[in-house]
Amino acid sequence: MRILERIDLLKVGVFLIGISALIISIILLHMYITQQQKYDIKDFYVNCLKEPKGFSITIDAYSTDLKNVRVINDNITLCEFIEIPKRSQEVCKVSGEGTYIISALIDNKEIKKVVYCRNYSYIPLD
């Protein structure tokens, strides 16, 4: 009976709630990190930038090596790169506006992305 008199049930309850909150936060942090790793990975990114004479298409390889990269417009290959290593980029100069298809092999699987090169005119708000 002396042991029960010394134990304060309120302190034990607060301690157990603290332990359970710590366990739940560790589980949620683990789930967040694994979900971020799953959805953060991009194969490659394509962007079109306006230049004084035409456009430049930038191909950024993020997570994997890209092989047999081609920039295609109207079934004509404009640029071709044998390999773009991961964490690097290549630039393809194109002359005019249009829709360009970028095709690349990743792990022997063909991935295609589309980029639009357009002259945008800005309307002043004055």
**Given this model, what pLDDT does residue 96 score?**
85
State yes or no: pLDDT of 36 exceeds 70: no
Buried b / exposed e along 2-25 (16+ C-beta atoms within 10 A) = eeeeeeeeeeeeeeeeeeeeeeee
Q: Tell me which residue of 48, 50, 46 sits closest to 61, measured CA to CA.
A: 46
Within 8 A by CB and 6+ apart from 98, the residues are 73, 74, 116, 117
For the entire predicted model, the pTM comes to 0.61
- What order do you get walking across the sheet with 44-51 strand by strand? 44-51, 54-61, 88-94
How deeply is 104 buried, as exposed, middle or buried, from its count of CB atoms within 10 A (0-12, 13-18, 19+)? buried
Mean pLDDT value of segment 91-97: 90
Geometric angle at alpha carbon 88, from 55 and 96, rounded to 5°:
10
Higher pLDDT, 9 or 71: 71
**Given this model, what pLDDT does residue 103 score?**
93
State yes or no: pLDDT of 18 exceeds 90: yes
Mean pLDDT value of segment 97-111: 90
